[in-house]
Structure 1
Amino acid sequence: MDIFRLIQDIKTHLKLSFDEVDRWFDKDNKMLNYQPSNGGWTVQQILEHIYLTNFYLLILIEKGSKKAMRNYLDLDLNLEIKNYSFNQEKFEKIGEYGAFQWIRPEHMEPKGELNLTEIRSLVSQQYHQCLHYLDLMNNGEGLLCKTTMTVNDLGKINVYEYIYFLSLHAQRHVTQMKNNELEVI
């Protein structure tokens, strides 16, 4: 496995996902506050949910990156890299809106406590946090810590895969926002 290629691919995916999310902040109030016919979230609520989910995922990513860097002292990174294979198929459903059922925790539900400007700024900071962790673990260290991910039964995933999950989650909700937009048009 070319770990440097994986890190670059995740950076590219993050940029595309976050750029796409950021464009939604520029929509007019009618689009941002449109309640879809299925009773789902408005675009503004989806944007808040993306921020909240990122917030909690980044707590795990931060802990994982610290542990991975500590593990670097005791584990054979070259052996981990040699034995690692990225199973992209396992993750693809995460980015597809409606591909599986999962009840999100209440703390990831939008509450309307932040305005759009605050959410946009926080999401931008989250993007830069992800890049920071990828830069920090730029030699493969992110493979040295695995944490369980219950969503869609992913199981134990490494820190890089957590960051990729975060990016796929945003992509999933971009589709949801596009669905809302199609109803408005």
Structure 2
Amino acid sequence: MMTEVINTIETELNQTFDELFKWFDIDYELLNYTPDNKGWNIRRILEHISLTNHYLLMLISKGARKALERAKKEDFMGSLINYDLDWARLKVIGEHKSFEWSRPGHTEPRGKIRVAEIRQELEQQLKQCHTHLLALQRGEGVLYKTMMSVNNLGKIDVYHYIYFLIQHAKRHITQMERVEVEFNLGVS
């Protein structure tokens, strides 16, 4: 069961980051185009994703460390028998504008980070996620839960947090696609 959960997370993680990395290859005008609603341009969206990932990975790293410590002391294999990631509840996070949320100020993009640095940060974050999944491959990630206030998710374990990170990126990929559509309509 846990192998299937972890494989699904890894597959979506890779697919989502592959999609994110494609956005670094777009032309300069599209990258910096500000939509009519005065929302973020694609460059700022990518920066926001990397900033949010940074803070999520702080929680994920702490959770992974504590889960591994608990795994040394507790027999947790029985709790894995009926484990469910609750995929549907987390997939809502990946849908752009599916719920109201006031983002914390520390995830607000400033537009001052070079695009190459944002990409490098995202590459490092992907590696971190893989490292955590590898370290928690026997199911240890279920042993530590942390409160997630976004969309009233409540206490979620380390696997849920990693899947949340993926869904958050998907949410903003949709946002970038909308900016691209608007840009292309204006260009034609």
Same fold (TM over 0.5): yes
CA root-mean-square deviation? 0.8
Structure 2, gaps ≥5 residues long? none
Per-residue CA deviation, residues 94-136 of structure 1 (Å, 9 max, x unaligned), is 0000100100000000012210000001101100100000000
Deviation at 1:84, TM superposition (A): 1.9
Amino acid of the residue matched to residue 6 of structure 2? I
Residues 30-179 of structure 1 correspond to what in structure 2 (within 5 A)? 30-179=29-178
SS at match of 2:81: helix
Match of 1:20 in 2: 19
Amino acid of the residue matched to residue 54 of structure 1? N
Amino acid of the residue matched to residue 176 of structure 2? M
Deviation at 1:3, TM superposition (A): 0.7
Aligned equivalents of 2:55, 2:84: Cα separation in 1 = 26
Aligned equivalents of 1:105, 1:62: Cα separation in 2 = 20
Structure 1, gaps ≥5 residues long? none
Match of 1:181 in 2: 180
SS at match of 1:72: helix
> Which stretch shifts more, 148-157 or 80-89?
80-89
Aligned equivalents of 1:154, 1:123: Cα separation in 2 = 25
Q: Is the 8 A contact 2:85 2:159 kept in 1?
A: no
Match of 1:5 in 2: 4
Runs of 4 or more above 6 Å deviation: none
Aligned equivalents of 1:64, 1:91: Cα separation in 2 = 18
Q: Is the 8 A contact 2:145 2:158 kept in 1?
A: yes
Deviation at 1:80, TM superposition (A): 1.6
Percent of aligned positions that are identical: 47
Q: Is the 8 A contact 2:148 2:155 kept in 1?
A: yes
Amino acid of the residue matched to residue 16 of structure 1? Q
> Which stretch shifts more, 73-82 or 135-144?
73-82
> Which stretch shifts more, 74-83 or 10-19?
74-83
SS at match of 2:172: helix
Q: Is the 8 A contact 2:30 2:183 kept in 1?
A: yes
Normalised by the length of structure 2, the TM-score is 0.96
Normalised by the length of structure 1, the TM-score is 0.97
SS at match of 1:147: strand
